[in-house]
Amino acid sequence: MSKIRSLKNGKYQVDVTNYEGKRFRLSFSKKTEASAFGAKIETEKHDFKLVRHGVLKQKLLLSQVIDNAILEKKPLAVKSYVKYKNVYQTFCDFMVAKGVVYLNEITAIHAEDFKKMLATSNISAKTINFYITSIRSLLNEYVLKDVLVKNPFITVKNERVKRKTLLEREEDYYSNAEIISFFSEKMDIKHRQVFLGLFLTGMRIGELSNLTWKRVDWTKKIIQVRSDAAFTTKTATSERDIPMSNILTKQLTSMKKLSTSEYVFTNPVNKKLTERRLLSVCKHIAEKAGIKKVATLHKWRHSFNSHLAQMGVDYSLRQYLMGHKPLSMTDHYTKIDPTQLHEVVSKLDKIINKVPV
């Protein structure tokens, strides 16, 4: 039990030991403040005993849960890490404003209010769903750990994502004519190699810019996308083996003979690629080529997927080549041999072969 005694200086000292056995001797100006502190420690001791005996669920500070969640995302690629960090921090700030201190104080009403707040924040339905899915997944971990009885976000429905029209979908990738026009323009040979690499592999810019020669398997003619000490893929399923098309094989063979860098694709001065500079180059070439769409580096990845789809390549194969997460357990256990897919990716060579020499 906590003990309170008055001091000669007019203050009140509380003497109490917490559930960890740590002793506190603190002075307060008012007796009510000293009593409140002592009562708080005694309540925590009482709750700890109930948790230990399985009568009460463990109480975790929401701020600590969020800090741990952010820390766990640290190994991800920078963009993904920042994305998750923003989600978790936004959620924590919202709950704190609602007076929520502990994880098990979050209710279904809080969850619905959080979604309503997102809906009025002028962000897309896709982004709202990412927030909801991320928080639901986080809290579900604590349901499995038996800290929460029920996930308060389990009843929160995702926003309906508006299906894009045909014209809108065409904006997401470069057409045959646009690709031919783009590569028909004069450009530095290093830039041409990079843009061909993006289109013929479907790699993310981070994957391509961090690709080293040791990840090129010349025997099997595949590119290995892997996480290492210097680079982390977006997700675990992003690690994959990409077969090289005939054109890409010839290009990389020529590049290897002249290369003095550990990186496969470099800028014109043989340094590591930077996304901002490369995007600027991409926009400049696209403008000269008369491409009206907003030019982005990611459009090359969409172009890889879209053109293979138009050429009749199966969805599961494209899903693997893109490094996307399987949608079902059946997809998860479907084994794909990338060494048998050279003819598949070489279908894209037909477009490049139409570019005037």
Q: Determine the 3-state secondary structure of 180 from DSSP.
A: helix
Angle at the Cα of 316 from the Cα atoms of 354 and 199, rounded to 5 degrees: 30
E-state strands within the chain: 3-6, 12-17, 23-28, 216-217, 222-225, 240-243
* Cα–Cα dist 76/66, whole Å: 16
How far from chain centre, in Å, is Cα 36?
44
**Of 3, 91, 93, which Cα lies nearest the Cα of 39?**
3
- pLDDT, residue 77, reads 76
Q: From CA 94, how far away is CA 44, in angstroms rounded?
A: 25
Handedness of CA 275, 281, 285, 288 (dihedral sign): positive
pLDDT of residue 336: 84
Question: Given CA atoms 301, 304, 305, 306 in this order, what sign does their dihedral have?
Answer: positive
Q: What is the pLDDT along the chain (357 residues), one digit of tens a residue?
A: 778 989 888 999 989 888 778 888 888 889 998 898 888 888 777 766 765 666 555 678 999 999 999 998 887 778 888 999 999 999 999 999 999 999 989 999 999 999 999 999 888 899 999 999 999 999 999 888 778 889 999 999 998 877 766 666 778 999 999 999 999 999 999 999 999 999 999 999 999 999 999 999 999 999 999 998 888 888 878 999 999 999 999 999 999 999 999 999 999 999 999 999 999 999 999 999 999 999 999 999 999 999 999 999 998 899 999 998 765 444 544 578 889 999 999 999 999 999 987
Other Cβ atoms within 10 Å of 158 Cβ, number:
14
Query: What was the pLDDT predicted at 329?
Result: 44
- The torsion angle over the Cα atoms of residues 324, 325, 328 and 332, rounded to 10 degrees, is 100
For 17, list phi and psi in degrees, rounded to 5.
Answer: -115, 130
| C-alpha count within 13 angstroms, C-beta hemisphere, residue 45 | 16
Q: Would you state the pLDDT for residue 242?
A: 96
Alpha-carbon distance of 195 to 212, in angstroms, equals 17
The residue type of 206 is G
CA atoms within 13 A on the CB side of 168: 4
* CA-closest candidate to residue 241, choices 341, 309, 348, 350: 341
179-184-190 Cα angle (round to 5):
90
- Are the C-beta atoms of residues 241 and 263 closer than 8 Å to each other? no
Confidence (pLDDT) at 47: 66
Q: Output b/e per residue, 199-228; b: 16+ Cβ within 10 A.
A: bbbbbbbbbbbbbeeebbeeeebbbbbbbe
**What is the Rg, in whole angstroms, of the alpha carbon atoms belonging to the chain?**
28
